Amino acid sequence: MLFLLLLFYNHFFIIMEHKLSPYVLRCYNSNFDDDSEDLFWDGKRTNQYLYLDKINNHDLFDVLAKYLEGQRTDAPRKVSDEKMLFQVSDLTIDSKNRIIHGYIQKGNWGTPGKIFNYANPDEQPRELKNTDAVLLKYFFYFYIPKCKKEAICIFHHIGQYGVKTLFSDSFKDVFRNISRGLRLQYNPMQYGNIYEKWSNAALKEIKIRKFKLLRSDVADQLKSISTDFDAYLVIRASRKKPFRISLSGFREKDSIEAKMVEMLEKEHGCQVSGSFELDGHKRVLKVGYKQSISSDIILEEDEINQDNGELDHLKLLKLTKKVVKDIADRIY
């Protein structure tokens, strides 16, 4: 039934989607057992996990702060064996509240090209040499409370690109050295663990990414402008006849909403998310199969203002703090 709305309420967008990906950090030690009967939020026993402020007499907060301070340089650094530069910037270390946040700037080189000014087509294009790298800013946020076996971290993505792997790979050896060979686990938060309170949230619109039923000539024209974009379809209810659907409808296995999403994902390879509202607050959530994998939080344009394409830092920080508090209320 909802699929028929595609014929009436749809718009085509070119975007670089911003989203936040929450993770919970843990350190497992098979040789450790404190006989605790406590369980983590995902049902695992806590007895063989270390307190993160007591890892071989090291505090993860201090180790991470020192590492990131060392990565904050005037010029970008080269990633070993890769055509990639990165740099830590705008670093804030709040020792009192045990919070660390900042940006990792990352970019690749190796492919020459041209840079055009879309606002002024008559301007002469600039050459992009094979040694040039365009660095994008990705936000990160860590909350590492004392006397806890879990910490919370948030990594920012732009489109399909992020810095979680870059960070975890570069920090890996540092952590192994202080922990005597242990590994820091990055566990993606599961959908239901954060957003149970959104079950009764009202659907405002549906966003369908990678929609393949678009006319090929339209897609070809868009690719002639740029190949670096995400295309998606938006289904909005009319103001006179709003959707009478909540988030819970998408989570019921045999519901019309769940069947629609399953058809779009399995038959057309789409990714489906919904914009929901609850008590005056809005949130974009994935409603398809991928909701069970992680709880990526898609940022709405009206939620995080952009100034010439750059996110408003204070609003991004405020939103991230709300997300972290929501997670902390559920896991601690």
Question: Which pLDDT tens digits describe the chain residue by residue (332 residues)?
Answer: 333 333 333 333 445 678 899 999 999 998 888 888 888 877 788 999 999 999 999 999 999 999 999 988 887 878 777 788 888 999 999 999 999 999 998 888 888 888 877 778 788 888 888 887 888 899 999 999 999 999 999 999 887 788 999 899 999 999 999 999 999 999 988 655 556 767 788 888 888 877 665 555 555 555 555 445 556 778 877 666 677 788 878 877 788 888 888 888 777 777 788 888 887 777 777 777 555 445 677 776 666 666 666 788 998 999 899 889 988 988 88
Beta bridge partners of 40: none
Residues paired with 92 in a beta bridge: 101
d(CA 332, CA 327) in angstroms, rounded, equals 8
In 61-80, which positions are buried (b, 16+ CB within 10 angstroms) versus exposed (e)? bebbbebbeebeeeebeeee
**Rounded to an integer, what distance in angstroms lies between the CA atom of residue 192 and that of residue 189?**
9
Q: What are phi and psi of 77, to 5 degrees?
A: -105, 155
Report the SS3 class of residue 222.
helix
Cβ–Cβ < 8 Å for 318, 298? no
- Cα 198 to chain centroid distance, Å, stands at 19
DSSP secondary structure letters along 43-84: S-BSTTB--TT-BTTB-HHHHHHHHHHHH--SS-EEPTTSSE
Rg from Cα positions in the chain: 22
As given in the structure block, the two tokens for residue 185 are 């686990």
User: What residue segments make up the domains of the chain, in order of their start?
Assistant: 2-16+194-293, 19-188
3-state secondary structure of 172: helix
Nearest CA to 21 among 157, 139, 138? 157
